[in-house]
Structure 1
């Protein structure tokens, strides 16, 4: 199967979206006779990121979940909150565990081929061709997770906030963390007048991921992240000495760029390249799971895979939020203070999961009502 170059489906990119899609295709009897090629330049054999998400009760990924939390904290100069998650659970997965799990499932499937190659372009004509550095491949339909080139164009006309971060997984010799609650945001360590915060996932009393995260139109030097983490550990935990066992660095685009416009009859954009990262939060794990399910349902119903993937009202809400952060980035701490202190955990998570009714949306809007949002609303409405 490794020598095959012609497929029914090709998936470009063995990241979160590509592998979740491949897993669901492999489990569904409808696709049993379809040949599937997964192309990626990497073997996916290192831990390159951490995915976290919330859900109610047990879930399909629990066998590879690193840690589950039942409560959260939120801190700012003005607010200190302890947030019981009620029926929800906050879960984290190391990417290497996900990659290993997916590969173990898929390598046993005779209709699935893993291909290590770098895709240079896609050519459409009588057949759809994937042009790789090593060789070319053909498919009836292609699922492409690469970000469109136009996203990087100098005449970029859409709002872009960079969610950029650096984190350390650290170990200590003595108990230093409360493993029962994770820190969603701690704004007491802001960088100047920006939306920047400490995020902590305590795996045990002596081990935690401590991350410094920005939601900003700009990026910063490495020292900014590291100095903030060190200051947090010293001031909050009286910790001057610790062991760094892993480092995590990343940038996630939070944007209203219209990724969905790049779908064609034979090409469906997925993952980050398909706009599956939620613009106002940067979360993607559960959105990916939902979108994969919709893709398969659409195919089996004879529709385009990308049919009706997104809810327009939530795209509009994301546009407003991103406009506020872009134009008045210092408002971020106030926004999240209000969001977490004025709403129930159920309403907040349902809103971020794009499952709320309009009455629930109004409750969220009321909690965030301000001149900044009014101005952003009209700028977005009239494309100012």
Structure 2
């Protein structure tokens, strides 16, 4: 087979059953699910991205009750979460959920090692210029030429989405440091899920603290705003938080990560002919929170199920999915128009609901009864007006 780190230009004249465009979380999750199912053993699969994934450039955290597809590479997990704000603070017992962390490098290596045993999986490293359709085939365009497939699964966002009236776009942007301290300062049995005690001057702003030992943790400064900050500002805030709230003034930075996730009620395409969109490009980041890991897992699982049953892998347009898109739009409207600060909203929701209900809500898995409890947690007048504007836009 072709090594995951080899460029083979002979691939460019070949038609494939499936092309996966983009080797991030969505593309690799889909590949993993395909490799696990015997249905795909005789299908030729090409994976394309501009470069191999060889660095620990991401950390994914998510919650789930059972063991998931990537359980064997979970780096650390927590049964308790701390929530802090100026209005409400508590330690939350989340059983039966576990809050789990997966490091990017472990994820990439795990999937690539599985692919090394699959002769039908091939890798090609070159910038993807675009995807489209020609003669009832999916077409991937590269600087060196075009490749066709029965289906292309694309996770690359080629251009910024155009935001129309009553659509909103916030950016979840964050800088995180994995730090090590000379003395024990952390409790690795619980994580700080959100700490809103930091300045809210820029917009909705909070810290994560994710300890993996008594002297090592990922500390992350996160904002929901329309514009980014100067890079030095993120570092200044991290240093200030470590000193003011954790009493840490001496530490070494083992790793740094920076990311931007669109938070929007813009409707991303799900299917265009033979091109299927996944990941951020397919709208799998929750509009009101930016959470994506579990939504990507659900989407890739549904794609595999559709292919096995000879169906086009369409997006979820059920009533339940539409309900949560409305909820996301309402919260984005409230934040965009600055009707209520994000720290106050999250504090009210966590204060008035068991954490399990909040986690279900963030996963789009609550019942109508749960939803009513969540809605009653926040100022009805503000949110009802925003909901009416979205319903009758």
> What TM-score do you get using the length of structure 2 for normalisation?
0.92
| Deviating more after overlay: 359-368 vs 10-19 | 359-368
Instruction: Note if 1:254 corresponds to 2:260.
Output: no
Aligned mates of 1:137, 1:239 — CA distance in 2: 53
**Which of 262, 272, 295 is the aligned partner of 1:264?**
272
2:96 aligns with 87
1:318 aligns with 328
**Quick check: 2:334–2:340 contact (8 Å CA) kept in 1?**
no
Q: Offset of 1:364 from its aligned partner?
A: 1.0
Question: SS of the counterpart of 1:259?
Answer: coil
Aligned mates of 1:205, 1:309 — CA distance in 2: 45
Aligned mates of 1:65, 1:298 — CA distance in 2: 28
Q: Offset of 1:59 from its aligned partner?
A: 3.0
Instruction: Note if 1:147 corresponds to 2:157.
Output: yes
Question: SS of the counterpart of 1:188?
Answer: coil
**Which of 318, 339, 350 is the aligned partner of 2:349?**
339
Q: Offset of 1:148 from its aligned partner?
A: 5.0
Q: Offset of 1:41 from its aligned partner?
A: 0.6
Q: Offset of 1:150 from its aligned partner?
A: 5.7
**Quick check: 1:211–1:229 contact (8 Å CA) kept in 2?**
yes
2:196 aligns with 187
Instruction: Note if 1:360 corresponds to 2:370.
Output: yes
Q: Offset of 1:290 from its aligned partner?
A: 1.1
What do residues 193-213 of structure 1 show as CA deviations (whole Å, max 9, x unaligned)? 621011110111111111110
Aligned mates of 2:131, 2:287 — CA distance in 1: 27
**Quick check: 1:194–1:330 contact (8 Å CA) kept in 2?**
no
Structure 1 segment 1-12 matched on structure 2, within 5 A: 1-2=1-2, 3-4=10-11, 5-12=14-21
2:5 aligns with none
Question: SS of the counterpart of 1:249?
Answer: strand
**Quick check: 1:71–1:85 contact (8 Å CA) kept in 2?**
yes
Q: Offset of 1:337 from its aligned partner?
A: 0.3
**Quick check: 2:131–2:141 contact (8 Å CA) kept in 1?**
yes
Instruction: Note if 1:51 corresponds to 2:60.
Output: yes
Structure 1 segment 18-37 matched on structure 2, within 5 A: 18-37=27-46
Q: Offset of 1:382 from its aligned partner?
A: 2.3
Aligned mates of 1:155, 1:343 — CA distance in 2: 34
Q: Offset of 1:362 from its aligned partner?
A: 1.0
Unaligned runs of 5+ in 1: none
Structure 1 segment 55-134 matched on structure 2, within 5 A: 55-126=64-135, 127-134=137-144
Aligned mates of 1:60, 1:68 — CA distance in 2: 15
What do residues 154-188 of structure 1 show as CA deviations (whole Å, max 9, x unaligned)? 87872111100111111110111111111111111
| Deviating more after overlay: 314-323 vs 235-244 | 235-244
User: How many residues are matched?
Assistant: 381
> What TM-score do you get using the length of structure 1 for normalisation?
0.94
1:351 aligns with 361
Aligned mates of 2:134, 2:166 — CA distance in 1: 30
> What value does the CA root-mean-square deviation take over the aligned residues?
1.8
The 1:105–1:176 alpha-carbon spacing in structure 2 relative to 1, beyond 3 Å, is same
Instruction: Note if 1:373 corresponds to 2:369.
Output: no
2:181 aligns with 172
Question: SS of the counterpart of 2:197?
Answer: helix
